Amino acid sequence: MNYISTIARTIKVKNWIKNILILVPIFFSSLYLSEEVLIGLIDIFFLLSFSSSTIYILNDLIDCNEDKKDLIKKKRPIASGEISKKNAIILCLILFLTLLSFLFYKNNFVLNMVFITYFLLNLSYSIFLKKIYIIDVVVLSLFYIIRVLAPIYYFNLDFSKWLVSIIFFAVLTVGFGKRLMDLNNNKINKNFVSLYNTNELQKFILINSSILIILFFVFSISEKSIDKFGENFYLSFVIVALGTARYLFSLFKKNFSDPVEVFTKDKILILLVISFGFYSLYCIYAL
């Protein structure tokens, strides 16, 4: 049972929650969940989850020595020695071969391109892009954009460029927030090295979150949104603004050590996310 738990933490199953983003284009495209759509979403979710887990292992193998210097990351299975590097490599190969078998079976152009793009971008990030100031966070944000674009191209959806921009600045905010959490986690760690300092990260976070709120406000009152989602959709802006403010509060109060924790343990933020989902559902599908 402990070994299953170790494998789950090595492949970071809890991070699969990030792949819920694939539902956003479905949601805002007013596409109903038919059997065909559900199967397609399962395929995309499986592809992204196994791809990210493969990359997580590669990342942890590459960063093993650096992770040992981090007060939080040193507890990861590979860095702590809970799972040997040999077994981690075997696990990585199993995931990779499973992915290749899946793609060969599906023989779908979009799935193949998503895999190739996601994998090559991740490898580039792991090897050198993560060492470049600001570029590291921008590239991390692109991983989430791929999650949004995958169902758009798979189902050939008509999707708003506004929403893609909103999601980009949202994940940029979370990305810089992750860097701030890393600094906060290692305040007493003399061995920890970062490309950033606290003051500049706080500025980046506030700038990006402000752009996010402005973009969503413009999107919510646009003529196209009113025609598609109804004249009351603009009220969802209030929930987005409150949700952003709550995230910033949780971040700056240093209550959490990881972004996933914020979105899975902050009860008020979870309530706001659910409220946004139900209100948008009402606006989009009640018309």
Find the mean pLDDT for residues 30-36: 78
Do 18 and 108 belong to one domain?
Answer: yes
At 67, which CATH number?
A: 1.10.357.140
Do 179 and 194 belong to one domain?
Answer: yes
**26 Cβ neighbours under 8 A, 6+ residues apart:** 33, 37, 41, 151, 155, 157
Please report, as a single letter, which amino acid is at residue 132: I
Distance CA 70, CA 116 (A): 31
> What is the number of domains present in the chain?
2
pLDDT tens for each residue of 143-201: 989 999 999 999 988 777 888 899 999 999 999 999 998 888 887 777 777 888 889 99
Q: Which of 113, 115, 119, 103 is nearest to 57 (CA)?
A: 119
Do 165 and 147 belong to one domain?
Answer: no
CB 250 within 8 A of CB 266: yes
Find the mean pLDDT for residues 214-235: 88
Do 131 and 143 belong to one domain?
Answer: yes
Distance CA 83, CA 76 (A): 9
**158 Cβ neighbours under 8 A, 6+ residues apart:** 29
Quick one: pLDDT at residue 228?
A: 81
Do 233 and 181 belong to one domain?
Answer: yes
Least confident of 71-75, 89-93, 110-114, 116-120: 71-75
Query: Does the CA dihedral 166-171-172-174 come out positive or negative?
Result: positive
Q: Which of 157, 191, 208 is the last residue of a domain?
A: 157
Q: How confident is the model at residue 226 (pLDDT cuts 50, 70, 90)?
A: confident
CB 239 within 8 A of CB 275: yes
Do 102 and 218 belong to one domain?
Answer: no
Q: Phi/psi of residue 104, each to 5°?
A: -65, -40
**Angle, to 10 degrees, between the axis of helix 161-185 and the axis of helix 198-221?**
160
Token couple for 212: 């996010």
Do 55 and 72 belong to one domain?
Answer: yes
Residue pointed to by tokens 């650096």: 66
Q: Which of 131, 157, 183 is the last residue of a domain?
A: 157
Quick one: pLDDT at residue 116?
A: 92
Residue pointed to by tokens 């506004």: 162
Do 257 and 210 belong to one domain?
Answer: yes
Residue pointed to by tokens 């590291």: 136
